[in-house]
Amino acid sequence: MRVLLAGYAADRYISQHRYIAKTIEQKVLQMNKAPTIAHDNAPSLTPLVTLLADDMEQVNAQIVARMASDVPLVPELAGHLIAAGGKRLRPLLTLAGARLAGGSPHAIGLATAVEFIHSATLLHDDVIDESKLRRGHDTANALWGNDASVLVGDFLFARAFELMVETDSLSVLGRLSNASARITEGEIKQMTIAGVADTPAADYFDVIRNKTAILFAAAIAAGAEVAGADKAVIEATHDYGLQLGMAFQIMDDAMDYSQSSAAMGKNSGDDFLDQKITLPMILAYGDGDEAERNFWHKTMRDGDFADGDFDKAHSILQRHNAIERSIAEAVTYASAAEATMQRIAEQSKADPALLEALCEAARFAAHRQT
């Protein structure tokens, strides 16, 4: 009888959260008023993608070749995630970093390694977050289960390290190994502050610096380093990637409260239901009155969600301009990323078109809607 009651309670809990999640998605679709920063010509990744198209074609071929395995599930599951698309921004940055320093025969393999590291972290993240949607498609864990997703993620990490060793650069291997460790540290810290509504903004920035920005930084700096760039250029590319990555993640967190699932390619409102502490909520909590703070404690700390709570959360965020202020923070980081391109221009003979494309990529990170 106790087992039956426990099963009934669990089913009821899951059904309630599915209903709330569906309600959140409907509310976001109804709002459809995502705050944006005015820009005459919306920034795009197109210039960077166009300049590096031939190299990226080789990276894609390398991805397919290195996913090969005698165990059919490995390429099937990994291929599902990679074929779902994505911006491929991290391997693009590796290729760009190498191109800034004149190019390297190791750039293709290194960019492939960076994409494998990123894909492995996504597989693991989706298991931890129990996500069901990624890039507009069912997640691997939703289709094949958690065990398979974790193990294939481990396989991709192993392949990434094989590719890094092939560069014959201990420094590059150390840079990307350190980034991989810091990504894990960021995820662990994010887990420890989940539900802690009064989390300081500094802790949030520390989380996203490790969880997201460090791989952007390591990706472009490793590309520059493997191509023989001098120390000043390597440091400048690292700074660029770090600032761009911060802007990218802050925008991602802002969009979770303001964009539909169709626009983002993942479930909207997930951060709210998962009790993740992000910048919009931190800003609203900091400026909130006692009643508003009690609401965040009820939802984010206690996990006590009811129909209409997402509506209320969004109203509080709007009252304190929390989404707009978060986007403004992302713009600040993007501007800092652009400024590093001036340093590189002064310290190298890099292609001006590539420098401008990287500046536009930084602007894109803070203005994107997907």
pLDDT in the model for residue 78: 85
**pLDDT, the chain, mean:** 87
Q: Residues in the chain with pLDDT < 70?
A: 1-40, 85, 134-136, 259-268
The CA distance from 238 to 312, in Å, is 40
Exposed, middle or buried by CB within 10 Å (0-12, 13-18, 19+), for 171? exposed
pLDDT digits over 206-264, tens only? 999 999 999 999 999 999 999 999 999 999 999 999 999 999 999 999 999 986 555 55
Q: With the CA atoms of 353, 357, 358 and 363 taken in that order, what torsion angle do they form, in degrees rounded to the nearest 10?
A: 140
The CA distance from 82 to 214, in Å, is 21
CA 351 and chain centroid, separation: 28
pLDDT in the model for residue 263: 52
The pair of structure tokens assigned to 318 is 């709007």
Q: Kindly report the pTM of this predicted structure.
A: 0.86
pLDDT digits over 262-292, tens only? 555 556 678 898 899 999 999 999 999 999 9
Phi–psi pair at 134, nearest 5 degrees: -145, 125
Cα distances (Å, whole numbers) of residue 231 to 31, 110, 171, 225: 48, 19, 12, 8
Can you list the domains of the chain with their CATH numbers?
Answer: 27-367 (1.10.600.10)
